[in-house]
C-alpha cells in the first residue's frame, strides 16, 4: 500500500516538474503549482474592500465572491492550479509630447489576453497528450479568478503596497494566468515574503491619493480605473485634474517602485509597442470614427475603454493641459 502511495507521489512530483519545464518552453517566465482550494483569507479581504465601495462601478467584482475565491466553483474537477507569469516589459518610454496622451505599458503591444491564453491552451493540449485523463480550464483575467492571490500562493511574488504582484526577477511588469487542472500534482510550498519594507514611494507618488492605505486601492480615485473601466461621461474631478498626461491606464505607482529596477526586456515579440500605442495623438482620437477605432485597436487591450471612453479621456487631458498653461 505504501509503495503504491510512494509511486503516485513520485509520479505527481515528476509530472509537476515536466509541466513547469513545458510552460517555460512555451515562453512563460515564471510558473508555480498549488492545490485548487479556496482562498479564504483573500475572500475576507475582498469582502472588506467591497464593503468600502472601493470597486467603483466594477460591479462584476462584487458578484459571486464565493466563486471568485474558489476555483472548484468555476471548474468542479479542479485539483491543481498552475499559475504562470509572462514578462511584458519592453525597453521604450513615453515621449514628452503635449499633443499626445500616455498609454499604460501593458497595452502597448498585442492584447495579453490572447497571448497568455494561447500559451495556456498549448500547455493544456500538451498535458492532455501526456495524460489522457487530463481535463482543464484556462483563465486569463476574464474569468472570476483572483490572479494576484494565486501568484502569491504559487510563490511567484508578493503583493506590493500598490496592490500589484511584484516578482523578484521581473518587477511588477508581468501578466498572470491560471490553468485549472483535474490532476493532483506535487505542490510548491515556498512563498516569497513581502519585500516592500518601509518603502512608501508608490503611495506618495500617486497624484490622486488612490492608495488610501498600504495594499488598499480605492478605484474611485485611481487614474487607471477612471481611464479604462469607468463608463460615466465625465471622470471624477479629482482624477481629471491630476491625470499627469495619462490617456489610458497609468503606471505611476509601478514606475516609481524600486523593484522595477529588475525589469528585463521580454522575449515575447508581440508585446513590442504598436505604432502610436505608447503615446496616442489626442486630436486623432477626438476625430476617430467607430470604424477607424475598430481597425486601429484590433486585438489590442486598449479596446477595453471603448471609443467613447477614449474620447472622454482625450477631452479631459486636453482641458487639463489648457488649464495648466
The answer for residues whose C-beta is within 8 angstroms of residue 13's C-beta and 6 or more apart is 185, 186
Q: Between residues 37 and 200, which has the closer beta carbon with respect to ligand SF4? A: 200
Task: Give start and end residues of each alpha helix (H) in 157-297.
Answer: 201-205, 223-228, 237-240, 252-255, 282-287, 290-296
Q: How many residues in the shown chain lie near ligand SF4 by CB under 6 A?
A: 12
Cβ at position 201, least distance to ligand SF4 in Å: 4
Smallest CA-to-CA distance from 140 within 84, 100, 97 is with: 84
Among the options 110, 111, 141, 292, which is catalytic?
A: 141
Would you count residue 160 as binding ligand SF4 (CB under 6 A)? yes
With binding defined as CB under 6 A, does residue 257 bind ligand SF4?
yes
Torsion-angle region of 56 (φ positive above 0: left; ψ -120 to 50: alpha; else: beta): left
Total length of the chain: 325
The only residue of 105, 153, 162, 296 in contact with ligand SF4, by rule CB under 6 A: 162
Q: Looking at beta carbons only, is 36 or 202 nearer to ligand SF4?
A: 202
User: Does 199 help bind ligand SF4 (rule: CB under 6 A)?
Assistant: yes
Cell triple for residue 131? 495524460
Instruction: Identify the residue among 30, 68, 102, 161 touching ligand SF4 (CB under 6 A).
Output: 161
Q: Is 192 in the site for ligand SF4 (CB under 6 A)?
A: no
**173 contributes a contact to ligand SF4 by CB under 6 A:** no
Three-class DSSP category at 281:
strand
Q: Can you tell me which residue has the cell 483535474? A: 182
Q: Which is nearer to ligand SF4, 20 or 162 (CB)?
A: 162
Among positions 11, 41, 47, 200, the unique one binding ligand SF4 when judged by CB under 6 A: 200
147 in active site: no
Closer residue to ligand SF4, CB minimum distance, 241 or 256 = 256
Enter the DSSP assignment of 30: E
Q: Contact at 8 Å (CB) between 282 and 318? A: yes
Residue with smaller CB distance to ligand SF4, 189 or 193: 193
Pick the closest to residue 316 from 245, 211, 225, 254 (CA basis).
245
Among 12, 58, 134, 201, binds ligand SF4 (CB under 6 A): 201
Instruction: Identify the residue among 81, 165, 202, 206 touching ligand SF4 (CB under 6 A).
Output: 202
Question: Does 256 engage in binding with ligand SF4 (CB under 6 A)?
Answer: yes
* Helices of type H across the chain: 2-25, 40-51, 65-68, 112-130, 147-153, 201-205, 223-228, 237-240, 252-255, 282-287, 290-296, 306-324
Is-contact 104 28, C-beta < 8 A? no
Nearer to ligand SF4, 184 or 244 (CB): 244
What track of x and - describes contact with ligand SF4 for positions 107 through 136 (by CB under 6 A)? Answer: ------------------------------
Minimal distance, residue 151 CB to ligand SF4, in Å: 14
Which region among 84-92, 134-142, 148-156, 159-167 touches ligand SF4 (by CB under 6 A)? 159-167
Strand order in the sheet with 174-181: 30-35, 80-87, 174-181, 136-139
Q: What residues are labeled active site?
A: 141
* Residues in touch with ligand SF4 (CB under 6 A): 160-162, 196, 199-202, 256-259
Amino acid at each position: 500500500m505504501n509503495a503504491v502511495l510512494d509511486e503516485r507521489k513520485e509520479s505527481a512530483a515528476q509530472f509537476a516538474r515536466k509541466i513547469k519545464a513545458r510552460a517555460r518552453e512555451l515562453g512563460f517566465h515564471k510558473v508555480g503549482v498549488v492545490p485548487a482550494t479556496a482562498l479564504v483569507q483573500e475572500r475576507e479581504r475582498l469582502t472588506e474592500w467591497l464593503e468600502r465601495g472601493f470597486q467603483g462601478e466594477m460591479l462584476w467584482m462584487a458578484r459571486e465572491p464565493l466563486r471568485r475565491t474558489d476555483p472548484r466553483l468555476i471548474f468542479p474537477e479542479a485539483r491543481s492550479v498552475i499559475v504562470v507569469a509572462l514578462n511584458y516589459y519592453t525597453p521604450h518610454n513615453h515621449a514628452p509630447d503635449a499633443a499626445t496622451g500616455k498609454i499604460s505599458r501593458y497595452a502597448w503591444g498585442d492584447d495579453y489576453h490572447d497571448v497568455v491564453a494561447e500559451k495556456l491552451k498549448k500547455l493544456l493540449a500538451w498535458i492532455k497528450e501526456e495524460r489522457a485523463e487530463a481535463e482543464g480550464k484556462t483563465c486569463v483575467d476574464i474569468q472570476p479568478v483572483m490572479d494576484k492571490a494565486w501568484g502569491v500562493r504559487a510563490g511567484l511574488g508578493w503583493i506590493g503596497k500598490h496592490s500589484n504582484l511584484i516578482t523578484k526577477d521581473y518587477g511588477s511588469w508581468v501578466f498572470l494566468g491560471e490553468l485549472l487542472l483535474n490532476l493532483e500534482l506535487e505542490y510548491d510550498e515556498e512563498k516569497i515574503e513581502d519585500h516592500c519594507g518601509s518603502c512608501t514611494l508608490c503611495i506618495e507618488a500617486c497624484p490622486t491619493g488612490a492608495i488610501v492605505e498600504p495594499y488598499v486601492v480605492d478605484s474611485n480615485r485611481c487614474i487607471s480605473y477612471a481611464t479604462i473601466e469607468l463608463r460615466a461621461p465625465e471622470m471624477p474631478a479629482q482624477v481629471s485634474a491630476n491625470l499627469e498626461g495619462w490617456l489610458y491606464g497609468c503606471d505611476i505607482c509601478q514606475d516609481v517602485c524600486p523593484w522595477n529596477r529588475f525589469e528585463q526586456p521580454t522575449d515575447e515579440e508581440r508585446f513590442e509597442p504598436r505604432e502610436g500605442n505608447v503615446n496616442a495623438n489626442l486630436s486623432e482620437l477626438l476625430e476617430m470614427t467607430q470604424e477607424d477605432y475598430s481597425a486601429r485597436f484590433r486585438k489590442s487591450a486598449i479596446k477595453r475603454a471603448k471609443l467613447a471612453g477614449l474620447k472622454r479621456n482625450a477631452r479631459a487631458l486636453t482641458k487639463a493641459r489648457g488649464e495648466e498653461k
